[in-house]
Amino acid sequence: MLTAIVGINWGDEGKGRMVDLLSEDYDIVARYQGGNNAGHTVQNQLGKFILNLLPSGILRPEVVNVMGPGMVIDLKHLCGEMDRLRQAGISITPKNLKISDRAIICLPYHVEQDGLEEDRLGDAKYGSTRRGIAPVYGDKYLKKCIRMGDLLYPEAMEKRLRGIVEWKDLLIHNGYGADSISFESLLEWLRTYGGQLKEYVCDLGVYLTEQIEKGKKVLFEAQLGALRDIDFGIYPFTSSSSTISAYAPIGAGIPGKKLDLCVGIMKAYSSCVGEGPFTCELFGAEAEALREAGGEYGAATGRPRRVGPFDIVASRYGVRMQGADQLALTKMDVLSYLDQIPVCTAYEVNGQITHEFPFGDHLAEAKPVVEYVPGWRCDISGCRKKEDLPKNALLYVAYLEKAVGCRIRYVSVGPDRDAYIDMEK
């Protein structure tokens, strides 16, 4: 059984929480793209954890967690994340964590380049998290990166890295005018942090293929959502990797395998971090109230998130891009304070109403068409069965289901592991 859990919107839909919940039925949880640019928040009986790189299954001792070749890994950040979890009593060994030899290493100069470029752009900045993700993916396709497996061949790695640094310094020093990259401190960094991670490196394709043949179940965990996909998202305000489910087997090292199930995570309202078009955005007091109610501040950066009502146009597009078979609607409880719930039902572009997610400049010009549906005005965070939900909450779920064209299997009503409703029970 191969299942992907992916974001339908701009990210921050609560994927971490759903993976933590659903991983119970799986043997392996795989991350297949991205780096430490986003954060998954998982809250359970052990505490509250923000995971940037580690798969969310790491909080379940019996689950094996794998980091795929589609990822970019900042070694220092990963070591820090592992240390923090160990301090909370979570055991991490090569038995429950495996890293692909083909995963790319995000080096300190990638982080530096990210900051230098955002500063150079000034007001025109992309809103990068400045963690080196775009520069390292750029270098990956220029074929000028070091991979996790290279840590096992230090001499060859040193030789290749010397050539790469010579090239990179043309940009960092000669281009941006920053200090030259110190090859020695780079090597030291690789020795210090790479040394701690070497034992986790393996051929993930071989491992996963064997496990799948044995009948093990794999859960693929995406970072960010469909609208941040490098090809299908709000380019250039996207992530630098493929966030869609179709990429999951590739990014995990088993391109020949096919998914059996895709679960899309969709939030009961919208939020968007950073720059770029966000058609349904709310402003002023209305936005402030929703941001407060939903605690919408970036898990990785602490930045206040832009918020808006549920966006049918964007979500229907997200469901289609992800090929979602079923959905989890998260943070329903957040909307309990509203008498009337706003929903963005269409976009107006140059005086024309559209229901399709527009490209480029048309998206930038799009205005939201907002309609209101009745709220339920009571606390639903204690609901655990479909029958516990007030009528208007059930109507809201049915309305969204119809609007995006996909079944809502789960409704999440709180951050805790058990705070959800399985609509099929």
Residues noted as catalytic? 12, 40
Query: Hey, which residues between 1 and 20 contact ligand GDP (CB under 6 A)?
Result: 7, 11-17
Which listed range, 40-48, 134-142, 210-218, 356-364, lies at the site for ligand GDP (CB under 6 A)?
40-48
Q: Does 221 contact ligand GDP by CB under 6 A?
A: no
**208: Cβ–Cβ under 8 A, 6 or more apart, which residues?**
28, 30, 66, 218, 252, 253, 254, 257
Q: Does 299 contact ligand GDP by CB under 6 A?
A: yes
Looking at the Cβ atoms of 13 and 112, the one nearer to ligand GDP is 13
**Cα dist from 37 to 33, 40, 157, 158, 241, whole Å:** 11, 10, 26, 27, 11
Q: Does 53 contact ligand GDP by CB under 6 A?
A: no
Q: Does 38 contact ligand GDP by CB under 6 A?
A: yes
* Number of residues counted as binding ligand GDP (CB under 6 A): 22
What's the closest the beta carbon of residue 198 comes to ligand GDP, in angstroms? Answer: 29
Which residue from 330, 312, 135 is spatially nearest to 240, judged by alpha carbons? Answer: 135
Which residue has 């500063």 as its token pair?
119
What's the closest the beta carbon of residue 162 comes to ligand GDP, in angstroms? Answer: 38
How many whole angstroms separate alpha carbon 96 and alpha carbon 118? 37
Binding mask 334-363 for ligand GDP (x = CB under 6 A): x-----------------------------
What DSSP assignment string belongs to 337-388?
G-SEEEEEEEEEETTEEE-SPPPHHHHHH-EEEEEEEE---S--TT--SGGG
What's the closest the beta carbon of residue 171 comes to ligand GDP, in angstroms? Answer: 31
Q: Does 413 contact ligand GDP by CB under 6 A?
A: yes
User: What is the number of residues in the chain?
Assistant: 425
Looking at the Cβ atoms of 151 and 389, the one nearer to ligand GDP is 389
What's the closest the beta carbon of residue 411 comes to ligand GDP, in angstroms? Answer: 8
Out of 279, 322, 330, 345, the only residue in the binding site for ligand GDP (CB under 6 A) is: 330
Q: Does 282 contact ligand GDP by CB under 6 A?
A: no
How many whole angstroms separate alpha carbon 328 and alpha carbon 267? 8
Q: What angle separates helix 391-404 from helix 312-322, to the nearest 10 degrees?
A: 60
Out of 331, 349, 357, 393, the only residue in the binding site for ligand GDP (CB under 6 A) is: 331
E strand or H helix at 212, and its extent?
Answer: helix 204-213
Q: What angle separates helix 108-121 from helix 133-142, to the nearest 10 degrees?
A: 110
Looking at the Cβ atoms of 139 and 221, the one nearer to ligand GDP is 221
**Cα dist from 423 to 4, 44, 327, 379, 408, whole Å:** 20, 22, 11, 18, 7
Q: Does 264 contact ligand GDP by CB under 6 A?
A: no
E strand or H helix at 117, and its extent?
Answer: helix 108-121
Q: Does 333 contact ligand GDP by CB under 6 A?
A: yes
| Category of 131 on φ-ψ map: left (φ > 0), alpha (ψ -120 to 50) or beta | alpha
Out of 28, 321, 415, 421, the only residue in the binding site for ligand GDP (CB under 6 A) is: 415
Looking at the Cβ atoms of 136 and 334, the one nearer to ligand GDP is 334
Q: Does 412 contact ligand GDP by CB under 6 A?
A: yes
Contact yes or no for 46/87 (Cβ under 8 A): no
Looking at the Cβ atoms of 7 and 132, the one nearer to ligand GDP is 7
**422: Cβ–Cβ under 8 A, 6 or more apart, which residues?**
409, 410
Contact positions vs ligand GDP (CB under 6 A):
7, 11-17, 38-41, 43, 299, 330-331, 333-334, 412-415
